[in-house]
């Protein structure tokens, strides 16, 4: 892929932009936003090339903060349809136990491409299934991100509490604590880039309280502190989980998390559906953040994340599409609309506007990822932006361009820039043969679902 922009680029006169004082666009140089161009002004940055954005709406690149890429191979699986979380997982674990490195590579590439074409410039992934032969899963994902030019926060997931120890997953998909911790340290030391401008970061991510031992939760927190990386897990997703936690640990999930040393500013949690008001305050004080997964929570009938109450208490909330077996799509722009509708239905018109919905996958998700250099269009931020057009039937007749993206259901970015480099142009990913990827990915999915 080419498209690097060594000289300053003025993204000129956009139809709309999610930034104040940038009516005439922005100037990008050396991978960063160096100037906002206000109405009636021209750039002061010298020797500017221009990109005419007259047909585009410019957003900060969307950031997906929860996913399980491998699950793109198990979308709409008949045995898992119409089931709640625990029986749904039990139907899928045996299929996931048959994953191969080739399947993980195809699933990762496909999920990343799907996210990019929906406007994502950065994504996380939560890969926690490590059957024999899949020890290099994170290495495979890093390679795919580099090929596509996507900014990532990949997590080294884990499970070590199988059915034998009172957990949910079968023996074939779990690893022992020593193996998990050693490999976690290996992938962090090998791939994690610290600080501003990082393209690849690694976090540590035990799957959930019902698939990991207390000992591993605690050791993971200690390792994350020592290596200075973030931590991620599922929490407070369902009522089942609350009951399980009360039975096994005699406390609620957040109490358990705190007891394990996880109620911390390094931690971001997927779901956060079943917290109470006292817990909102504790999350806020700790600086722990929440990823709202609107489609997944609705598909599995898990409940509705109290997004406005969390934000009012001071908890940052980002968005995530969640794994493709529970969404089943990896389209973050569609997730924005789903979250907007769900939260407006819960909290009313005064509390949820289209601008709130656009804040969640940008500023909110950046907080979940622990990044201050992405998630907003402002001078000094990385040049990670998503450009959408309003040239489809669904947008015809719309007035406010930013509102139209959310209300009319935008689902496909026309262009995407990461660190000043175009990685999507004219709705395509240069160098990626999408038809061939679909053919190979669906063949791998058929094989996996049929029993290897
Ligand atoms: Zn998940």
The per-residue pLDDT for 47 is 83
Q: Give the range among 139-148, 317-326, 391-400 with minimum mean pLDDT.
A: 317-326
Instruction: Considering only the C-alpha atoms of the chain, give the largest distance between any 2 of them, rounded to a whole number of Å.
Output: 69
Q: Give the range among 268-272, 297-301, 422-426, 435-439 with minimum mean pLDDT.
A: 297-301
Confidence (pTM): 0.97
What's the gap between Cα 334 and its chain centre?
Answer: 13
The per-residue pLDDT for 268 is 98
CA of 380 to the centre of ligand 1 (A): 33
Does pLDDT of 209 surpass 90?
Answer: no
Between CA 173 and CA 162 the distance in angstroms is 8
CA of 163 to the centre of ligand 1 (A): 20
The per-residue pLDDT for 4 is 53
CA of 88 to the centre of ligand 1 (A): 12
Between CA 408 and CA 94 the distance in angstroms is 39
Does pLDDT of 184 surpass 60?
Answer: yes
CA of 323 to the centre of ligand 1 (A): 6
CA of 350 to the centre of ligand 1 (A): 30
CA of 363 to the centre of ligand 1 (A): 21
Does pLDDT of 292 surpass 80?
Answer: yes
Neighbours of 135 (CB within 10 A): 14
β-bridge mates for residue 17, sequence order: 58
* 452 band by pLDDT with thresholds 50, 70 and 90: low
Q: Give the range among 21-30, 69-78, 435-444 with minimum mean pLDDT.
A: 69-78
CA of 270 to the centre of ligand 1 (A): 7
CA of 345 to the centre of ligand 1 (A): 23
Average of pLDDT values for 253-270? 97
% of residues, the chain, pLDDT over 70: 99
CA of 30 to the centre of ligand 1 (A): 35
CA angle 52, 55, 60 (to 5 degrees): 85
Tens of pLDDT, residue by residue over 293-302, are 999 999 888 9
Between CA 114 and CA 106 the distance in angstroms is 12
CA of 152 to the centre of ligand 1 (A): 17
The residue that leads in pLDDT, 84 or 428, is 428
Does pLDDT of 224 surpass 50?
Answer: yes
Tens of pLDDT, residue by residue over 68-115, are 999 999 999 988 888 887 888 888 999 999 999 999 999 999 999 999
The per-residue pLDDT for 113 is 98
Alpha helices in 250-315 (DSSP H): 253-259, 277-286, 294-299, 307-313
CA of 207 to the centre of ligand 1 (A): 8
Contact 381, 390 (CB under 8 A): no
Does pLDDT of 250 surpass 90?
Answer: yes
Average of pLDDT values for 120-142? 97
CA of 348 to the centre of ligand 1 (A): 27
The per-residue pLDDT for 85 is 79
* 166 band by pLDDT with thresholds 50, 70 and 90: confident
Residues with CB under 5 A from ligand 1 (ion): 322
Q: Which two tokens stand for residue 100?
A: 């191969």
The residue that leads in pLDDT, 195 or 177, is 177
CA of 26 to the centre of ligand 1 (A): 36
CA of 431 to the centre of ligand 1 (A): 30
CA of 66 to the centre of ligand 1 (A): 6
CA of 56 to the centre of ligand 1 (A): 33
* 2 band by pLDDT with thresholds 50, 70 and 90: very low
CA of 297 to the centre of ligand 1 (A): 10
* 326 band by pLDDT with thresholds 50, 70 and 90: confident
* 211 band by pLDDT with thresholds 50, 70 and 90: confident
Between CA 70 and CA 105 the distance in angstroms is 9
Q: Which two tokens stand for residue 353?
A: 């506007």
Tens of pLDDT, residue by residue over 347-399, are 999 999 999 999 999 999 999 999 999 999 999 999 999 999 999 999 999 99
Between CA 166 and CA 263 the distance in angstroms is 24
The per-residue pLDDT for 3 is 45
Does pLDDT of 5 surpass 90?
Answer: no
């Amino acid at each position: 892929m080419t498209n690097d922009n060594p000289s300053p680029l003025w993204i000129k006169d956009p139809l709309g932009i999610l930034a104040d004082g940038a009516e005439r666009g922005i100037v990008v140089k050396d991978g960063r936003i160096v100037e906002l161009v206000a109405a009636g002004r021209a750039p002061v940055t010298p020797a500017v090339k221009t990109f005419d954005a007259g047909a585009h709406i410019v957003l900060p690149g969307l950031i997906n903060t929860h996913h399980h890429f491998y699950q793109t191979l198990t979308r709409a699986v008949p045995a898992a349809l119409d089931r709640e979380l625990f029986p749904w997982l039990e139907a899928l674990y045996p299929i996931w136990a048959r994953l191969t490195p080739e399947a993980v590579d195809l699933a990762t590439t496909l999920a990343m491409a799907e996210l990019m074409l929906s406007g994502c410039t950065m994504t996380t992934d939560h890969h926690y299934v490590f059957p024999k032969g899949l020890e290099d899963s994170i290495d495979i994902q890093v390679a795919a991100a580099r090929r596509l030019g996507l900014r990532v926060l990949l997590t080294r997931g884990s499970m070590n509490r199988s059915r034998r120890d009172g957990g949910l997953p079968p023996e074939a998909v779990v690893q022992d604590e020593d193996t998990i911790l050693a490999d976690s340290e290996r992938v962090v030391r090998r791939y994690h880039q610290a600080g501003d401008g990082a393209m690849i970061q690694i976090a540590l991510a035990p799957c959930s309280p019902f698939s990991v031992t207390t000992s591993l939760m605690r050791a993971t927190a200690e390792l994350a502190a020592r290596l200075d990386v973030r931590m991620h897990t599922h929490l407070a997703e369902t009522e089942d989980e609350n009951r399980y936690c009360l039975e096994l640990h005699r406390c609620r999930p957040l109490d358990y998390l705190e007891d394990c040393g996880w109620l911390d500013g390094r931690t971001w949690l997927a779901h956060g559906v079943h917290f109470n008001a006292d817990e909102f305050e504790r999350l806020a004080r700790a600086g722990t953040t929440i990823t709202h997964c609107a489609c997944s929570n609705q598909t599995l009938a898990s409940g509705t994340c109290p997004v406005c109450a969390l934000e009012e208490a001071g908890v940052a909330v980002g968005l995530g599409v969640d794994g493709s077996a529970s969404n089943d799509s990896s389209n973050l722009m569609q997730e924005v609309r789903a979250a907007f509708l769900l939260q407006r239905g819960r909290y009313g018109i005064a509390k949820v506007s289209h601008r709130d919905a656009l804040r969640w996958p940008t500023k909110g998700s950046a907080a979940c990822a622990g990044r201050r250099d992405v998630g907003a269009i402002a001078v000094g931020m990385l040049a990670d932006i998503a450009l959408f057009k309003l040239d489809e039937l669904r947008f015809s007749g719309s007035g406010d361009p930013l509102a139209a993206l959310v209300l009319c259901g935008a689902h496909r970015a026309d262009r995407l820039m990461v660190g000043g480099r175009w990685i999507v142009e004219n709705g395509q990913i240069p160098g990626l043969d999408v038809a061939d990827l679909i053919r190979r990915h669906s063949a791998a999915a058929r094989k996996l679902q049929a029993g290897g």
